[in-house]
Structure 1
Amino acid sequence: MHNLALSAKKASVKQKTFDPMSKRLLALVIGLTLNAFGNGLTISSNIGAAPWGASEVNLAHLFHVNIGIAMFVVGSAVAVINQLLLKKKDFLRFAGEVAFIASFSYFINLFTGFFTQIGLPQAPLAWRIAVGFFGIAILGVSISFYQRANLIMHPNDSTTNILRFLYLKNNVVRAQFINFLVPLGMTGICYLATGRVYSVNIGTLVILLVNGPMIAWTDRHLWHSLHHNVKQPKAIHD
């Protein structure tokens, strides 16, 4: 009888870690909006794209295709890899990631177009650096929000979540760094093939160094009532 009561208590505690769907949807919407906003700032300020975005730009130049096509193909491939990392089939997760990447470029284009119209690309360098770095910080905040909501997310951010919780004992900094090694390698291959590198600048290096710590900082200090809505599986050790 005592064991049954203890089990019920544990189940109750575990259930409390999952937020109401309304809060998770709100976190998703805010996170997606902030992510598009932050990407719009970094792209329009011309300080360098995030590693994944830079790799997609370079692939577009290598194969002479639209950046939207390159983004969709790479994102879909990452969604497939995520299924392999999970070691199980999760069609809803896969469909959500593909749907996300299909619409992601549209919202980035809206913000990029707006910031371009108000003259951000022609602003003084000091202003562009300041605005671009602010956009980088916003990216970390946005990823933290929709990763914690855990409904649908960018396939690349989903990879970070999978590595973080299944393989790396909740170490988001290490997970994000490993995640970024792949697009850096892709950009290097494109450079060897074309002799040129596009969309890589100081901002790319800053994102590589601070994006993981910024997500971790946001997890600890912003929106305390929003939990990581994930089931904690038994960790898979390195």
Structure 2
Amino acid sequence: MPSLVKRCLIYLAGLFILSSGVVLMIKSNVGIAPWDALNVALSERIGLTVGSWVFIVGGILIFVNSIIRRKVPNLAGLIPILIIGVFVDLLNLKLLSSMEVEPILLRWVLFVGGLSVLALGIVIYLRAALPTVPNDELMLAITERTGWGIHVTKTIGEIAALLLAVMWQGPVGLGTIIVVVCLGLFVGLFDQLLSKAGVPRSFTVRSMDE
């Protein structure tokens, strides 16, 4: 199998895992990730599906990232947000539409599981070295400019999204605060675990052929 095909499969798998984490946290109903809270708020207040707002907000972030990096906007970032938008709507409106969890303990279990799945999906798809989701590119852009770790820069991006979600009166809860504090740590943890397992941070053609 050609290396590019393998990278694309890893990429799609990571994005699907990421999207699954998003929807699991939405279904937990104890607070969701700040970017997702913003997308849900915009969907409820303006219209369109959550997946549509994933694409629209991501498109805006592409231009924000270009300002931070002082480079031409990376329009390739439209690819992952289009894929994620489709996955989120497929899972949220079709495959998992009937999922309802009532006991509070099980809702928190679902939330923690969703947070872990989200972080794992981020780490996996980034390793394919294909177009980056704009809000993750924001993390990488800040890292490039400051030299800070991705757990720090991811948290900065989540705080910015949290402020916007509160402004639009999104479904912000205790779980949202936990995401702000812990998502960067979870991403860093899974990044280290995969690195220690011998999975490179970037799947170049050579590494995939080996």
TM-score by length of 2: 0.83
Tell me: CA distance 1:152–1:104, structure 2 relative to 1, closer, same or farther (3 Å). same
Q: Is the 8 A contact 1:28 1:151 kept in 2?
A: yes
Q: Which runs of 4+ in 1 moved over 6 A?
A: none
Cα distance, 1:53 vs structure 2:
1.1
Aligned residues: 199
Instruction: Give the structure 1 partner of residue 103 of structure 2.
Output: 124
| 1:51 counterpart (19, 24, 34) | 34
AA aligned to 2:57 is V
Structure 2: distance between partners of 1:159 and 1:173? 12
Q: Is the 8 A contact 1:48 1:203 kept in 2?
A: yes
Tell me: CA distance 1:102–1:79, structure 2 relative to 1, closer, same or farther (3 Å). same
Instruction: Give the structure 2 partner of residue 215 of structure 1.
Output: 187
Question: Structure 2: any 5+ residue segments left out of the alignment?
Answer: 204-210
AA aligned to 1:199 is P
Structure 1: distance between partners of 2:152 and 2:145? 10
Pairwise CA RMSD: 2.3
Matching of residue 142 in structure 1 with residue 142 in structure 2: no
Secondary structure of the 2:97 match is helix
Cα distance, 1:215 vs structure 2:
0.9
AA aligned to 1:148 is R
Secondary structure of the 1:88 match is coil
Instruction: Give the structure 1 partner of residue 172 of structure 2.
Output: 200
Instruction: Give the structure 2 partner of residue 65 of structure 1.
Output: 47
Name the larger-Rg structure: 1
Q: Is the 8 A contact 2:27 2:101 kept in 1?
A: no
Alignment of 1:65-144 (within 5 A): 65-66=47-48, 67-89=50-72, 94-112=74-92, 113-117=94-98, 120-144=99-123
Matching of residue 31 in structure 1 with residue 22 in structure 2: no
- Percent sequence identity over matched residues? 23
| 1:228 counterpart (177, 201, 208) | 201
Q: Is the 8 A contact 1:121 1:128 kept in 2?
A: no
Structure 2: distance between partners of 1:100 and 1:126? 33
Q: Residues 90-132 of structure 1: CA distance to partner in whole angstroms, max 9, x if unpaired?
A: 6xxx232112222322211222232332xx3244221121012
Structure 1: distance between partners of 2:186 and 2:6? 22
Instruction: Give the structure 2 partner of residue 14 of structure 1.
Output: none
Q: Residues 160-181 of structure 1: CA distance to partner in whole angstroms, max 9, x if unpaired?
A: 12222x1232501110111112
Secondary structure of the 2:111 match is helix
Tell me: CA distance 1:71–1:33, structure 2 relative to 1, closer, same or farther (3 Å). closer
Alignment of 1:133-172 (within 5 A): 133-164=112-143, 166-172=144-150
